[in-house]
Structure 1
Amino acid sequence: MPTSSRETASRRPWRAFLASEAGAGTLLIACAVLAMAWANSPARHGYETLKKLPLAVTVGPVALAMPLADWVKHGLMSVFFLLVGLEIKRELRAGELVDPRRAALAIFAAVGGMVAPAAIYALLNAGGPGAPGWGIPMATDIAFALGVLSLLGRRVPVGLKVFLTAVAIVDDLGAVLVIALFYSGGLQAGPLLLMGIALAAALAYGTLGGGRHLLVYAVLGLVAWYGSLEGGISPSVAAVLLAFTVPMTPRAGGPHHGPSAGTERSDSPLHRLEHLLQPWVTYAILPLFALLTAGVSLDAAVPNRVTAGVGLGLLLGKPTGLLAASALAVRLGWASLPAGVNWAAMAGVGLLAGIGFTMSLFIAGLAFEGTPYLDQAKIGVLSASTLAGLSGLAVLRRATAATTAGPAGVPGR
């Protein structure tokens, strides 16, 4: 075999791994570990210098200057939220959330998995300086959760993976609503009007013009992003709203290989934009965010009620709320468990939902930016996410080994 052929063959397993959910999750873990090691090493000054590196962008009369960490949080992460919005719209229009019974189970589970962690956090921090962080343990990191689930391979029922994905999508929508309603402030009418005009133009272009040229969305998205940033609303909200203006109708003359909705929409602007953004978000934006966010000096971060609230919310509140709400939906007859999935497997998924990471760290930055509580919240997120992933993997390994074909029953019935 020629040398080039051997090299190509040897690279294929690595390329396949990096393209998998496990590979994406592993990359995030590696960046988080590197950030922690760097922030607690003799070179920690370099880490802080990198985060605070000043960067300025000037376009005509508009000038923006922020540290690198803020450009990543408010700028690049907006692309992540744009992708989240596209995934939410796809699932609502042609995915797992179209079927009423599947949607009911995912919605109940996600809401329960958001309310219980927030309640636990609030009980520990009500009336104290850490009270604003109640939204931190509500989030689920879909990349990490699916990455851990994929480690079990084919022994995981397809329905379980689909359920976790649907829960994470609803969870993401809930997180965006929480950010919009509770973590925005100091609103400015002028910039927000500019954001509204840009989003209205995007909606008109998608509805009347077909939304064929993605460059138009890039330009209008930048205008909406600037308006939200200057107007006091997290740019993540503008990004998700922009995603909802991108149509799922196929391009004229595009492929029509069958009557199914998924086939008809395979060449839609939404799918093209989603496929364009996916690798950049997975292998550049999220790893960079993890690198610049996960680094916490353990000397300065003393665990307190904020750490406990975040940790218990993710590790205890997530699985408890998810299981209780799912059982309620099934008992009411509004939903049923996926085929081949038992309640032990649901408990494992509930634990995996406690992997907050990206979303939790993002909300922590909004809640406690510039305060010592930020590092304490990060400690809670990182420690709880690690424990949730390991315990969820252990529970699912045992549950899937014992799973038999056919739908599981309702506990106690």
Structure 2
Amino acid sequence: MDSEKIISENTWLGSNRRLAKTIGRPVRKFLGIEASSGILLVIAALVALIWANSPWSNSYHDLWDTEIMISFGESISLEHHGHPLTLGQFVNDVLMVLFFFVVGLEIKREMVTGHLKKFRDALLPMIAAVGGMVVPAVIFFVFNSSGEASDGWGIPMATDIAFAIGVVSLLGPRVPSAMKVFLLTLAIVDDIGGILVIAFFYTDDLASGWLFVAALTVFGVIVLKKLNVRYTPVYIACGFLLWYSLFESGVHATIAGVVMGLLAPATALINDKNTVSEAVQPAMQAQTDFSGLRKATFHLNESVPITERFENLLHPLTGFLIVPIFALANAGVEISSDSLSDAASSGVTRGVVVGLVVGKIVGVSFFTFVAVRLRVSTLPNGSNFRHIFGISAIAGIGFTVSMFITALAYDNVILQDESKVGILLASALAAIIGLFLLRSVKVVEQEASFLEENKEVAQFN
């Protein structure tokens, strides 16, 4: 987001009031920093750790274990295995739907107008992402080849986009913008892989009737799109129906967010600038009535793709509120000499740490190296294999999605805690190693073609 947007003097934020000048505008400027959502995520995780290991630790667990009753009439109620949802489950199963909806929007935008549009441009990071998923999963399975612990093989496959991009942004121009694009594309493909893993491998017993309702809902949304229906409340209702049917079907309900994001139109309904200008001009000159203002608003809105509008609307909500709340609810692991000793000898913890730290570096780097050597693709402009090593280490920051898969993979609290310790340790190590490797690469003069790419990334940021 652009932190330099004009603030009207007629608003509180633009006024000369003391709170606006000393708190409001500085906070707004912080939220405009690329790394800000990652910083809030780290702060929330630290608060959870401190709280869970303080004299008030019982209040932490009591809060997230609080049962909440959510029902609509007598026929619709949200329950988990016959019991009301806890506050922690509400965060994971309900609030995180919006996070995955934004992920779906990002994937759709990249596929239609972004870095996944041209297969050739996306090929190298796609290959790297496959290596970054397969090798960590295999490493985890080596440490946990049997029993309940083996269910967590999907945990080290993930990359936290916000966290990873935030860490890389700390190095500024030391990291070529082409490598930021490489990391972004790799992380998006990782997200696609993680979503498929959640959909097909981390589901409960399936209820075919509710799956049929979900399929009908998706079909209905597709029909509405074909008919160019653009009334947002209709799609919100469809999204809720899809979410509830998947919740009841046994497929994890967050998949509804991804599906609705992928179904959202990524091109504008109105592309003719003259048409937009003709509708807006009278309103700009105060020569229209209320219906004219509505027409102008409609034309302005529909000149921007729905994916872009919803991303701009929901990204602050998910990045600055929902994901930090998720970290607060899930990162509270009790740490003691006994728990650390158990974690050090735990196959789950070792599998997660080695998978995310070593597996990502080996998988991403090796698959990239092979693809370049076989001339399947070429390295991004202005980069070398030292950049690839650094980016592959950063890709080991699995935080949010890894935590999410942990909650799906294990019902056993001990295994959950061992996994969370591994994720926290691995994410910290991955960030440190990645920063060290990327910082050690010399900044070189970039070619004109790369400078053009730099402008593209600046616009994205």
Same fold (TM over 0.5): yes
User: Which residue number corresponds to residue 81 of structure 1?
Assistant: 100
Percent identity of equivalent pairs: 40
User: Which residue number corresponds to residue 21 of structure 1?
Assistant: 34
Which amino acid counterpart does residue 63 of structure 2 have in structure 1?
L
How far is 1:16 from its partner?
2.4
Unpaired runs of 5+ in structure 2?
Answer: 1-14, 79-83, 277-299, 451-461
User: Which residue number corresponds to residue 293 of structure 1?
Assistant: 330
Change (3 A) 1:50 1:99: same
For residues 128 and 29 of structure 2, what CA distance do their matches in structure 1 show? 32
Q: 2:360 aligns with which of 318, 338, 341?
A: 318
Measured against aligned partners, the alpha-carbon deviations of 1:303-332 in whole angstroms (never above 9, x if no partner) come to 100000000000000011001111122122
Q: TM-score, normalised by structure 2?
A: 0.82
Stretch moving more, 292-301 or 278-287: 292-301
User: Which residue number corresponds to residue 213 of structure 2?
Assistant: 194
For residues 123 and 275 of structure 2, what CA distance do their matches in structure 1 show? 31
How far is 1:205 from its partner?
1.2
Question: SS at the partner of 1:126?
Answer: coil
User: Which residue number corresponds to residue 411 of structure 1?
Assistant: none
Spell out the pairing of 1:174-253 with structure 2 (5 A cutoff): 174-210=193-229, 212-252=230-270
Spell out the pairing of 1:230-379 with structure 2 (5 A cutoff): 230-252=248-270, 267-299=304-336, 301=339, 302-303=342-343, 304-379=346-421
Aligned residues of 1:265 and 1:271 also touching (Cα < 8 A): no
For residues 256 and 390 of structure 1, what CA distance do their matches in structure 2 show? 51
Residue 77 (structure 2) pairs with residue 63 (structure 1): yes
Tell me how many residue pairs correspond in the alignment.
401
Question: SS at the partner of 1:235?
Answer: coil
For residues 6 and 345 of structure 1, what CA distance do their matches in structure 2 show? 43
Q: 2:58 aligns with which of 26, 35, 45?
A: 45
User: Which residue number corresponds to residue 157 of structure 1?
Assistant: 176
Stretch moving more, 6-15 or 213-222: 6-15
How far is 1:402 from its partner?
4.2
User: Which residue number corresponds to residue 8 of structure 1?
Assistant: 21
How far is 1:209 from its partner?
2.5
For residues 39 and 28 of structure 1, what CA distance do their matches in structure 2 show? 17
For residues 27 and 144 of structure 2, what CA distance do their matches in structure 1 show? 45
Question: SS at the partner of 2:446?
Answer: coil
Aligned residues of 1:85 and 1:244 also touching (Cα < 8 A): yes
Question: SS at the partner of 1:327?
Answer: helix
Q: TM-score, normalised by structure 1?
A: 0.92
Change (3 A) 1:256 1:8: farther
Measured against aligned partners, the alpha-carbon deviations of 1:210-236 in whole angstroms (never above 9, x if no partner) come to 4x2222221111111111111000112
Q: 1:392 aligns with which of 426, 434, 437?
A: 434
User: Which residue number corresponds to residue 423 of structure 2?
Assistant: 381
For residues 126 and 159 of structure 1, what CA distance do their matches in structure 2 show? 38
Which amino acid counterpart does residue 237 of structure 1 have in structure 2?
I
Aligned-pair Cα RMSD in Å: 2.3
Stretch moving more, 213-222 or 32-41: 213-222
Stretch moving more, 187-196 or 11-20: 11-20
Aligned residues of 2:210 and 2:246 also touching (Cα < 8 A): yes
User: Which residue number corresponds to residue 283 of structure 2?
Assistant: none
Aligned residues of 2:217 and 2:238 also touching (Cα < 8 A): yes
